[in-house]
């Protein structure tokens, strides 16, 4: 066992603070990573504050992890000490169900083991995440990150990146597609980058006029103010695919009316309370659909990381020391970040 330093929440109303705990020593197939950077996801805040009513305290959040390999098990073949490694939202799954065998571990029929707040089959209790200085993960769930990328800016690719990449790939977005991205935050800015990189005509929907210039810099061909009925009407029935990244309940009917026949509105934002029920006639008369998407499987996440290395794609980030995490959460709620906080883990004790 190895002593680890991190930050944890001990209740829904308590701030995150220093927390010492133990990680297992690497087994034969394990990789130990000295964490250098960890992105801050809105899911971290939802879990810390128990907004999904499933938190088990103490909670050590963090599932956008990049660092250096410090030790490996005797049977590990894909990683060496000193190399760059990453961990995303999952650290294990059953590996035998049809979903796992198809490389879709995120949809494991028995429930993927998440990087934090999930049952820890090795030590008991719950898994602890990347707001810490070390993590030990089975090689099958460890990812490679090219040293061509800025590692801090690559960290949020492990969640914000794959959450947007996966549905765009699944629904075949490409050069003949007209694609909408709803919301310009941690997820939305990556949706713009990927849709643009795939060659789609890309439109941002936002409620904030001040985001127009940034949206164009990130890859938007056009920007629509979603509260302006005339602007919305000009795009009626014209979209192949709309990726909705907003993590708050909102009316979906205005968005489904923008879809072509057989168009898809895909939800990736996870609100704490449900969306209003959509108008059924808005769907059935054009065979439109409302869908959802989680993250990607391990193979697809590696594909995304390799794509980003080839294209020089990373997240726009603001670095913080771990001691500023509670302030960062409040700023995140105000959308006061462009576009993802990343924790510099050098701010934690290393021994």
Dump pLDDT digits (tens) for 20-33.
999 999 999 999 99
* Residue 316 vs residues 117, 186, 217, 327, 342: alpha-carbon distances, Å: 27, 8, 12, 19, 10
Are the C-beta atoms of residues 270 and 43 closer than 8 Å to each other? yes
The yes-or-no verdict on residue 292 having pLDDT over 70 is: yes
Nearest to 2 by CA among 24, 19, 20: 24
What are phi and psi for residue 23, nearest 5 degrees? Answer: -105, 155
Neighbours of 13 (CB within 10 A): 8
Three-point CA angle 118, 119, 120, nearest 5°: 110
Nearest to 79 by CA among 26, 131, 127, 1: 26
Cα–Cα distance between 180 and 220 in angstroms, integer? 9
pLDDT of amino acid 350? 72
Arch. (CATH architecture) of 2-159+314-347: Alpha-Beta Complex (3.90)
In the chain, where are the structural domains located? 2-159+314-347, 161-292
pLDDT of amino acid 68? 98
* Residue 7 vs residues 19, 77, 323, 338: alpha-carbon distances, Å: 5, 32, 9, 23
Q: What confidence tier does 351 reach under pLDDT thresholds 50, 70, 90?
A: low
Read off the tokens for 312.
């020089």
CATH code linked to domain 161-292: 3.40.50.720
pLDDT of amino acid 239? 98
Share of the chain above pLDDT 90, in %: 94
Please tell me the pTM assigned to this model: 0.96
Q: What is the mean pLDDT of residues 52-70?
A: 97
The yes-or-no verdict on residue 108 having pLDDT over 90 is: yes
Are the C-beta atoms of residues 46 and 23 closer than 8 Å to each other? no
pLDDT of amino acid 271? 82
């Amino acid at each position: 066992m190895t002593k680890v330093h991190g930050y944890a929440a001990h209740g829904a109303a308590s701030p995150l603070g220093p927390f010492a705990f133990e990680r297992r020593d690497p087994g034969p197939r394990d990789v130990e990573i000295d964490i250098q950077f960890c992105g801050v996801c809105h899911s971290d805040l939802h879990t810390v504050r128990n907004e999904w009513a499933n938190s088990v305290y103490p909670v050590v959040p963090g599932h956008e992890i990049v660092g250096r390999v410090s030790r490996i098990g005797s049977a590990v073949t894909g990683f060496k000490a000193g190399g760059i490694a990453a961990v995303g939202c999952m650290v294990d799954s059953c590996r035998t169900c049809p979903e796992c065998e198809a490389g879709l571990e995120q949809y494991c029929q028995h429930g993927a083991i998440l990087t934090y707040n999930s049952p820890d089959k090795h030590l008991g209790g719950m898994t602890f995440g990347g707001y810490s200085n070390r993590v030990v993960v089975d090689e099958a769930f460890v990812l490679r990150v090219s040293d061509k990328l800025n590692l801090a800016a690559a960290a949020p690719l492990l969640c914000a990146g794959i959450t947007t990449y996966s549905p765009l790939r699944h629904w075949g977005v490409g050069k003949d597609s007209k694609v909408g991205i709803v919301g310009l935050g941690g997820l939305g800015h990556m949706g713009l980058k990927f849709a643009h990189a795939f060659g789609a005509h890309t439109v941002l929907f936002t409620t904030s006029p001040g985001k127009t210039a940034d949206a164009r810099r990130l890859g938007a061909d056009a920007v629509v103010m979603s509260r302006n009925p005339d602007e919305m009407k000009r795009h009626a029935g014209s979209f192949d695919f709309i990726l909705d990244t907003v993590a708050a309940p909102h009316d979906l009917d205005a968005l489904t009316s923008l879809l072509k026949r057989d168009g898809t509105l895909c939800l990736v934002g996870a609100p704490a309370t449900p969306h209003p029920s959509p108008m059924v006639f808005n769907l059935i008369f054009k065979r439109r659909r409302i869908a959802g998407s989680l993250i990607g499987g391990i193979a697809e996440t590696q594909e995304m990381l390799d794509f980003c290395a080839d294209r020089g794609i990373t997240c726009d980030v603001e670095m913080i020391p771990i001691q500023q995490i509670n302030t960062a959460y409040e700023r995140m709620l105000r959308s006061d970040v462009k576009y993802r906080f990343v924790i510099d883990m050098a701010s934690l004790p290393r021994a």
